[in-house]
Each structure stands twice: as structure tokens, then as C-alpha cells.
Amino acid sequence: MRTAYYISDGTAITAEVFGHALLSLFPIEFKHITIPFVETEQQAYDVLTKISESFQDSQTRPLVFYTIVNTEVMHIISQSVGINYNFLDQFVAPIEKILGVPSKPKKHRTHSIHETTYDIRIEAVNYALANDDGTNLKNYGEADIILVGVSRSGKTPTSLYLALQYGIKAANYPFTEEDLGDVIKLNPALKRYKDKLFGLTIDPARLHQIRSERRANSKYASMQQCRMELREVEGLYRKERIPFLNSTKFSIEEISAKIIANTGLQRRKY
């Protein structure tokens, strides 16, 4: 198995994202190793040793993706026995030419506590936690979006991802037996903010599987209950004209991106 290294004198998030995106195009399994905060020459030489040992063990040159600002550290990493890709070097020079402005590299600028949106994202995470699972209905006026759906359809992880990644205040509300009743209806707190609602749904078989892992052999997890709840809730979405998405085949990242694309919510990431 070929090894892929993601190296940086910062968090290595940029190298990981770029590298994983590229490697996902190839139907090959990789061993992924991330090494952040390589900030000194000695640390850089230690990394070279690890890369050399990987090459000796596998007899296959590893792929080395790196984003390093420190020129001395970058020069050392560039001499590894791996196949080296300096992402910053690939793009900075052409963009400098287009903009007519020289770049001013600075460590930790992309992913640091000093970024202007940091406090916004922390506040959004706190909001998502405080308004999870319909436990608090009085702060919906502050929400950027309110995710609704049956229990275990992906509302909580999506809310937290929207908050942490994009600074979006996302509340979420699960439809319970009280909501379903004889005639399914919107809770008054939801109806008041109907323009903020976005629904999630999921295939019955997948919902049955997820609920069975949580509460096996219960009415809550039964296929009949899952089908009934989803049928009722999807009918409500259509009746009330609430936009919704089937989350079955999508990752949390994809669900979040689709919600933002469909709603026009502002990303507060940078």
C-alpha cells in the first residue's frame, strides 16, 4: 500500500484537504499520515527520516503533500525520497502575477484563533449545542436555519458541522409522536419561523438500521414505525412547502453543502 504524507508548519488542514481531494480521484487505497507543526529544521529532518523508513519498508516512494511557509523547513522537506508536491508553490507565483501584488506568507494565518470568524464559529457551536433536539424553542429567532426531521435522520451532526465549519447558527427539532398524532402538524414555535425550516429525510431501511443499533427490537426501531414516520413527515414537508433532502447516501459535508446551496446561507469560514 502506498503511503501519503500531509505535512505543514501549521495545522496541515490545507495539505490534507488538497491531498485527499486529489487522491480520491484514484481507485487506490492509501495509508494516510498527517504531520502538523513542523516548525524547526530538526523537526523537518525527523520527518525526512520517517519518510525514508516508509520507503524502505514498502519499496514504494510515498506521496508527500506539503504547505510550508518557513523557507528553510520547506527546502528540507523538498529533499525527501518521496514524490513531493508543494501546493503553495504551485499556485502562489501565478496568482502574484495576476494580482500584481507579492504574497506575504505567514504561519497559521489560514487556521488560527486570529481569523476574523473564529468567535463567530464558537458562538454558533454553542448555539447548536444549546438548541439541539428541540430542547429549547425560545431562541429560534436567532437561528440562521432550523433543521427538522424524524429522530436519527442526521439533524444533530449536520447542525454541529454547519456551526463549526461555517459559523451558521443551526437549531434542530425532531418530530415526535406528539407531532405525528392523528394529523401531523407543525409545532407553533416552528410555524412562527417557517421560512427558516429545512427538512431531512432518510430511507426507511437505513433508519431502521440506525435505530436498531441504538434501541434494538423496539417499536421505535421497527420497520413499520420508520416507514410510518417518514411517510407522515415527508407529507408535511410537501404540504407546508418545506425544502428537504434525503440524507441516506450523503456525508455530513455533502448534506451541509447542499443545504447551503439550496438556502443561500452565508458561509462564515474565512
pLDDT digits 0-9 by tens, 8-62: 998 888 899 899 999 999 999 999 999 999 999 999 999 999 999 999 999 999 9
**Predicted local confidence at residue 41, as pLDDT:** 95
Question: Please, what is the average pLDDT of the chain?
Answer: 91
Q: How confident is the model at residue 145 (pLDDT cuts 50, 70, 90)?
A: very high
Is the pLDDT confidence value at 241 over 60?
Answer: yes
* Burial grade of 213 (CB within 10 A; 0-12, 13-18, 19 or more): exposed
Query: What value does the mean pLDDT take over residues 150-168?
Result: 95
Helix axes 155-166, 118-130, angle to 10 degrees: 160
Q: How confident is the model at residue 225 (pLDDT cuts 50, 70, 90)?
A: very high
**Predicted local confidence at residue 13, as pLDDT:** 86
The mean-pLDDT minimum among 74-78, 98-102, 194-198, 215-219 falls in: 98-102
Q: Which 8-state DSSP code applies to residue 86?
A: E
Q: Which 8-state DSSP code applies to residue 194?
A: G
Question: Which has more pLDDT, 41 or 182?
Answer: 41
Contact 204, 230 (CB under 8 A): yes
Question: Can you tell me which residue has the cell 404540504?
Answer: 239
- Which set of grid coordinates corresponds to residue 210? 440506525
Name the residue ranges covered by the structural domains of the chain. Answer: 2-99, 118-263
CA distance 120 to 34: 28
Most confident of the ranges 105-109, 168-172, 179-183? 168-172
Is the pLDDT confidence value at 270 over 70?
Answer: no
CA distance 270 to 114: 11
* 126 CB neighbour count, 10 Å cutoff: 12
Contact 45, 74 (CB under 8 A): no
Query: What value does the mean pLDDT take over residues 180-202?
Result: 89
Torsion angle, CA of 253/259/261/264, rounded to 10 degrees? Answer: -130
* CATH hierarchy code of domain 118-263: 3.40.50
Is the pLDDT confidence value at 114 over 60?
Answer: no
The pair phi, psi for residue 32, each rounded to 5°, is: -100, 130
Global pTM?
0.76
